[in-house]
């Protein structure tokens, strides 16, 4: 067995040829755009609600509809990419994303906007795992793939931050509609260039789709995201939360039994038994859930405690974005010298320490410098852990199963993004005051990161 805590004994030369660079640029542009799309509407939601007549309760469904489709269908589309062709699914998803973005920008009623958001979520569920599997299969395992995944992670995280800032700028200077329109030329450029530089990738013998498995896992993930979203709005004890969470538990528990009876399972159980897949994805879940929810917590602190404007709060997270970009650039070198396991442990430890430092911020603006320094360091650690997670969760598998592996990893990413904020919201309201609740949630956040780092150290060590 290959050691999990040491780099490979021999690795190919880490040099990309011209075609590899073109492939990398096309895929990174697409992934960056998808990351921007996750956060670009957050600042614009109140303006959209006023412009199209959304009710206060219906406004949050602009984000929820996208998250439901993006997270619920990711694993299914990841497998379809293996079966139908990754380039075909990637290009089809990009075409849907461009059309849905145009429709969203032109929407005149809440119903049309919601339909566009669902279509954007479905397109994201198709493009993200297909693009990631094209990337992992285009670059051999080792330094080249580590470098590509590092750049991918850095631009993804920078995209989340850019989306928050860009959404505020476009809404203030132009219109919320440009938060949709900005995707259209990017999607068109990718559709024009990608067929010439990206080769098709799929198995020679095309297996059948596991329909019962697809229905079970997709239904379970949809119910899980719906329940987590309802928890943030209604609380954890509300029927609107408990019913979908119970349905999710039942469906996801049944999924392995369905797969065991399937002749061509959606996710073969042998993959779910791999330590790298299980513990790598759990570490990735913690990394995404904690960092995205920390942005939520610090947004509360900046706006409701320190009195910052939404745009000023968004610009403050440019420091976090710079930290994640630096972490993504450093990660390939770190993995080359040490190992993916070491990246998970060191990145998690740095993120946990930086998060704990945030307990030192108070209700005076004099602590703003500490917030900036801690979020920068936490961004470096978080991206180091995320690249370690992506390499761990996709290594050691044949190219024919890369779509499945990246589908699982992408599902982990999107569930983590959806999971973090409701959980931390529930922690915040347990305290008597908002600053006390934020401090309590920050402590819980740091403990979760530290536990994930310790689990990686223990369960991914060499046997």
As a whole number, mean pLDDT of residues 233-255 equals 87
198-214 burial, b at 16+ Cβ within 10 Å, e below that, comes to: beebbeeeeeeebeebb
149-167 burial, b at 16+ Cβ within 10 Å, e below that, comes to: bbbbbbbbbbbbbbbbbbb
User: What's the pLDDT band for 363 if we cut at 50, 70, 90?
Assistant: confident
Mean pLDDT, all residues of the chain:
81
pLDDT, tens digit, 9 for 90 and up, residues 89-100: 999 999 999 999
Whether residue 456 has pLDDT greater than 80? yes
Rounded Cα distance, 218 and 35, in Å: 22
- Shortest CA distance to 411 belongs to which of 119, 132, 84? 132
Whether residue 210 has pLDDT greater than 80? no
Measured at the alpha carbon of residue 438, what is the angle toward residues 349 and 379, in degrees to the nearest 5? 35
| 128 token code pair | 């993200």
Rounded Cα distance, 64 and 74, in Å: 15
Most confidently predicted of 246-260, 346-360, 380-394: 346-360
User: The whole model's pTM is what?
Assistant: 0.76
Q: Which residue has the tokens 């269908």?
A: 73
| 76 token code pair | 């299914």
**Cβ(60)–Cβ(52) under 8 Å?**
no
Most confidently predicted of 5-14, 182-191, 232-241: 182-191
- Shortest CA distance to 223 belongs to which of 86, 372, 368, 67? 67
Rounded Cα distance, 155 and 151, in Å: 6
Rounded Cα distance, 378 and 450, in Å: 12
Rounded Cα distance, 297 and 431, in Å: 14
Helix (DSSP H) and strand (DSSP E) numbers for the chain: 20, 0
pLDDT, tens digit, 9 for 90 and up, residues 336-352: 888 889 999 999 999 99
Task: Classify burial at 11, counting beta carbons within 10 Å of its beta carbon; exposed 0-12, middle 13-18, buried 19 or more.
Answer: middle
Lowest mean pLDDT among 120-124, 198-202, 354-358, 419-423: 198-202
User: What's the pLDDT band for 56 if we cut at 50, 70, 90?
Assistant: low
User: Considering Cα of 389, then 164, then 187, then 196, what sign does the dihedral take?
Assistant: negative
As a whole number, mean pLDDT of residues 26-36 equals 83
Most confidently predicted of 21-35, 96-110, 172-186: 96-110
Rounded Cα distance, 43 and 41, in Å: 6
């Amino acid at each position: 067995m290959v050691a999990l805590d040491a780099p490979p004994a021999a690795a190919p030369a880490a040099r990309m040829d011209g075609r590899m660079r073109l492939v990398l640029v096309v895929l990174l542009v697409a992934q960056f755009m998808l990351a921007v799309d996750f956060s670009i509407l957050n600042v614009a939601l109140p303006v959209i609600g006023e412009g199209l007549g959304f009710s206060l309760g219906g406004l949050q469904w602009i984000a929820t509809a996208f998250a439901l489709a993006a997270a619920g269908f990711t694993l299914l589309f990841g497998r379809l990419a293996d079966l139908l062709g990754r380039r075909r699914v990637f290009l089809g998803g990009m075409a849907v994303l461009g059309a849905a973005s145009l429709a969203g920008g032109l929407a005149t009623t809440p119903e049309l906007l919601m339909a566009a958001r669902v279509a954007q979520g479905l397109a994201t569920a198709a493009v993200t795992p297909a693009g990631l599997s094209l990337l992992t299969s285009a670059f051999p395992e080792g330094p080249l793939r580590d470098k590509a995944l590092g750049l991918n992670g850095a631009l993804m995280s920078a995209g989340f931050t850019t989306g928050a800032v860009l959404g505020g700028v476009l809404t203030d200077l132009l219109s919320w509609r440009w938060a949709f329109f900005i995707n259209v030329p990017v999607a068109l450029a990718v559709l024009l260039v990608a067929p010439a530089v990206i080769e098709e990738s799929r198995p020679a013998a095309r297996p059948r789709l596991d329909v019962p498995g697809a229905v079970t896992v997709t239904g379970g993930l949809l119910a899980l995201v719906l329940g987590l979203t309802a928890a943030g709005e209604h609380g954890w004890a509300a029927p609107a939360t408990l019913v979908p969470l119970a349905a999710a538990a039942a469906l996801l528990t049944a999924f392995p039994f369905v797969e065991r009876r399937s002749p061509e399972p959606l996710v073969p159980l042998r993959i779910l038994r791999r330590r790298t897949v299980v513990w790598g994805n759990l570490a990735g879940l913690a990394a995404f859930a904690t960092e995205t929810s920390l942005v939520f917590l610090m947004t509360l602190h900046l706006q409701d405690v320190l009195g910052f404007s939404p745009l000023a709060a968004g610009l403050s997270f440019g420091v976090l974005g710079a930290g994640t970009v630096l972490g993504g650039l450093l990660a390939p070198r770190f993995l080359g010298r040490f190992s993916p396991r070491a990246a998970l442990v060191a990145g998690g430890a740095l993120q946990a320490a930086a998060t704990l430092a945030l307990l030192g911020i108070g209700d005076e603006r004099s602590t703003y410098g500490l917030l900036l320094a801690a979020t920068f360091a936490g961004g470096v650690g978080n991206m180091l852990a995320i690249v370690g997670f992506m390499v761990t969760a996709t290594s050691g598998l044949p190219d024919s199963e890369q779509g499945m592996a990246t589908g699982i990893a992408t599902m982990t990413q999107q569930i983590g993004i959806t999971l973090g904020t409701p959980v931390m919201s529930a922690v915040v309201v347990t305290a008597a005051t908002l600053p006390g609740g934020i401090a309590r949630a920050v402590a819980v956040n740091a403990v979760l990161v530290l536990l994930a780092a310790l689990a990686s150290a223990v369960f991914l060590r060499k046997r």
